[in-house]
Amino acid sequence: MRGARDGGPAPWRALCQESRDPERRKHWAELFDQLDTNKDGRVDINELREGLARMGMNASSQAEQVSRGGA
């Protein structure tokens, strides 16, 4: 699958196009756009951390819960 770096569609767009549900595609597209703050077609780890923080999720505490077997 070609990605944004080599002139292809962003990976989320390719995966999202597989869904036949337009509402679901719209939801994922909006989420990606919110996370991709520098608009380069990718979400790097810093954008992901900042986005999770804006949504009230602490990435490190979430990872600790997962590693302990909690949800």
7-32 pLDDT, tens digit each: 565 655 555 556 678 898 899 999 99
Domain that residue 56 falls in: 4-67
* Whole-number percent of the chain with pLDDT over 90: 38
Which among 30, 27, 8 is positioned nearest to 19, based on CA atoms?
27
Note the pLDDT of residue 2.
Answer: 43
Q: How many domains does the chain have?
A: 1
Verdict on whether the full-model pTM lies above 0.85: no
DSSP assigned state of 66: H
The predicted pLDDT at position 30 comes to 94
